[in-house]
Amino acid sequence: MRLLVCVLASVLFMTVDHRRHHLETVRAAMAVIVYPLQFAVHAPFRGGKWLTDALATRRALREENERLRTQQLLIQARLGKYEELAAENRRLRKLLDSSVKVGDRVLIAEVVSVDMDPFSRQIMLNKGGNDEVFRGQPLIDAHGVMGQVMHVNPLSSTALLITDPGHALPVQLNRNGLRAVAVGTGATSDLELTHLPNNADVVVGDLVVTSGLGGRFPSGYPVGRILSVETDTGQPFAKVIVEPAAQLERNREVLLVWPGKEGASNKAQYAEGQEVRS
Amino acid sequence: MSLVRHQGGKAIVLSFLVAFMLMAVPLPEWADPWRPPWVTLALIYWCLAVPDRVGVGIGWVLGLFLDVLTGTLLGQHALGLTLVAFITLRFHKRVRVLPLWHQSVSVLLLVVLDRSIALWVKGIQGLATADGVVFSPALTSAILWPWVFIVLRDVRRKYRVA
Q: Residue A87 has what pLDDT?
A: 84
Nearest residue to A200 via CA among A167, A230, A168 = A230
B124 in Cβ contact with B87 (< 8 Å): no
Q: What average pLDDT does this structure show over A242-248?
A: 89
Q: Residue B154 has what pLDDT?
A: 92
A198 in Cβ contact with A231 (< 8 Å): yes
Could you tell me the pLDDT band of residue B121, with boundaries at 50, 70 and 90? confident
B144 pLDDT above the threshold of 90: yes
**Lowest mean pLDDT across A10-19, A104-113, B131-140:** B131-140
Give Cα separations from B6 to B49, B50, B53, B113, B159 (angstroms).
13, 10, 8, 31, 11
Which of A70, A100, A130 terminates a domain? The answer is A100
B87 pLDDT above the threshold of 90: yes
Tell me the per-residue pLDDT of A42-52, one tens digit each, with 9 for 90 and over: 888 888 888 88
Provide the domain limits for residue B97. 2-158
Q: Is B12 helix (H, G, I), strand (E, B) or coil?
A: helix
Residue A111 lies in a domain: no
Q: What average pLDDT does this structure show over A1-8?
A: 84
Nearest residue to A186 via CA among A166, A169, A172, A214 = A166
Surface of B (33-92) touching A: CB under 8 A: 33, 35, 55-57, 59-60, 63-65, 68-76, 78-79, 82-83, 86
Query: By the CB < 8 Å criterion, does B131 face chain A?
Result: no
- Residue A198 sits in a domain whose CATH number is 2.40.10.350
Which residue among B72, B74, B82 places its CB closest to the CB of A7?
Answer: B82
Q: What average pLDDT does this structure show over A49-71?
A: 88
Both ends of chain B: CA-CA distance in Å?
A: 12
Query: By the CB < 8 Å criterion, does B26 face chain A?
Result: yes
DSSP A147: E
Indicate if A33 and A74 belong to the same structural domain: no
CB pairs under 8 A between A and B: 117
A266: distance to nearest CA of chain B, Å?
25
Could you tell me the pLDDT band of residue A81, with boundaries at 50, 70 and 90? confident
B5: distance to nearest CA of chain A, Å?
23
A190 in Cβ contact with A210 (< 8 Å): no
Q: Residue B47 has what pLDDT?
A: 93
Mean pLDDT of chain A: 83
Indicate if A187 and A237 belong to the same structural domain: yes
Instruction: Write down the ipTM of this complex.
Output: 0.77
A186 pLDDT above the threshold of 60: yes
Q: Is B108 helix (H, G, I), strand (E, B) or coil?
A: helix
A128 in Cβ contact with A90 (< 8 Å): no
Give Cα separations from A233 to A191, A200, A201, A236, B83 (angstroms).
22, 13, 16, 7, 49
Indicate if A216 and A231 belong to the same structural domain: yes
Cβ contacts of B71 on chain A, cutoff 8 Å:
116-117, 120, 122, 124, 150-151, 158
Query: By the CB < 8 Å criterion, does A8 face chain B?
Result: no
Q: What average pLDDT does this structure show over A183-207?
A: 87
A271 pLDDT above the threshold of 70: no
Give Cα separations from A199 to A52, A155, A193, A203, A237 (angstroms).
52, 48, 14, 11, 9
Q: What average pLDDT does this structure show over A12-31?
A: 83
Give Cα separations from A187 to A73, A107, A151, A248, A278 (angstroms).
37, 28, 22, 11, 16
Q: In this complex, do B25 and A115 lie within 8 Å of one another by their Cβ atoms?
A: yes
Q: Residue A101 has what pLDDT?
A: 53
Count of domains observed in chain A: 3
Query: By the CB < 8 Å criterion, does B18 face chain A?
Result: no
A34: distance to nearest CA of chain B, Å?
7
Query: By the CB < 8 Å criterion, does B122 face chain A?
Result: yes
Q: Residue A272 has what pLDDT?
A: 36
Provide the domain limits for residue A92. 60-100
Tell me the per-residue pLDDT of A201-239, one tens digit each, with 9 for 90 and over: 899 999 999 988 888 888 888 899 999 998 888 888 889
Tell me the per-residue pLDDT of A146-183, one tens digit each, with 9 for 90 and over: 999 988 988 889 999 998 888 899 999 988 889 999 99
Q: Residue A266 has what pLDDT?
A: 38
Count of domains observed in chain B: 1
Cα A34 to Cα A171: distance, rounded to the nearest angstrom? 36
Cα B65 to Cα B78: distance, rounded to the nearest angstrom? 8
**Paired residues of A241 in beta bridges:** A192, A228
Indicate if A40 and A80 belong to the same structural domain: no
Indicate if A43 and A71 belong to the same structural domain: no
Could you tell me the pLDDT band of residue B126, with boundaries at 50, 70 and 90? confident
Could you tell me the pLDDT band of residue A260, with boundaries at 50, 70 and 90? low
- Residue B132 sits in a domain whose CATH number is 1.10.1760
Could you tell me the pLDDT band of residue A251, with boundaries at 50, 70 and 90? confident
Which residue among B60, B71, B74 places its CB closest to the CB of A14?
Answer: B74
Could you tell me the pLDDT band of residue B106, with boundaries at 50, 70 and 90? very high
Q: In this complex, do A188 and B128 lie within 8 Å of one another by their Cβ atoms?
A: no
Q: In this complex, do A115 and B24 lie within 8 Å of one another by their Cβ atoms?
A: yes
